[in-house]
A = this chain, B = another copy of it.
Amino acid sequence: MCGAGDMETSAMIKGIGVDVVEIRRIREMIRKYGDHFLQKVFTPAEVAYCEKAAVPEIHFAGRWAVKEAFYKALPRECQTMSGWKSVEIVPGESMVPMVLVCSDFLKSGMDKCGIERWLASISHEKQVCVGVVVMDGKE
């Protein structure tokens, strides 16, 4: 009884997601569909950030990978609440990207599922990007 409050603070893993993206595939989608593709998948801040980079498609690919990994890590009932632009990848300090949940609808769904924390990591090579997301929270 007396420990009931503590139980709620005990965290467990709630989700994991990984995504690997061949940069060439993103480059081709940008070439073929241009702004239409970019505006469907990325927020204005993400587009602005990537387009400032020397090789924008590497950064678009990295953000794509983290968005996909985040989606896969979500509980199923939250996935239906989630679209490409429900989250924004914010370039964190020291190579650690932050995933901002922009959609209040999705955020409240994640709260209901007990998700308290999510962490992301991203890696770029010449040909591929990999994104990983892990979530934890209470039972």
Contacts and interface: CB of A to CB of B under 8 A. Distances in A.
Given A69-B121, A95-B71, A16 B132 contact: yes
Contacts of A87: none
A103 interface: no
A72 interface: yes
Contact of A18 (B13, B94, B132): B132
A130 B20 contact: yes
Contacts of A69: 121, 123
A79 to B, nearest CB: 5
B13 A73 contact: no
A76 B94 CA distance: 7
Interface of A: 1-3, 5-7, 9-13, 15-22, 25, 68-69, 71-73, 76, 79, 93-96, 116-117, 119-134, 136, 139
Contacts of A13: 11, 13, 117, 119, 134, 136
A21 to B, nearest CB: 7
15 contacts: A3-B6, A12-B116, A12-B117, A13-B13, A13-B117, A16-B133, A16-B134, A20-B125, A20-B129, A22-B127, A22-B128, A69-B123, A125-B128, A128-B128, A132-B132
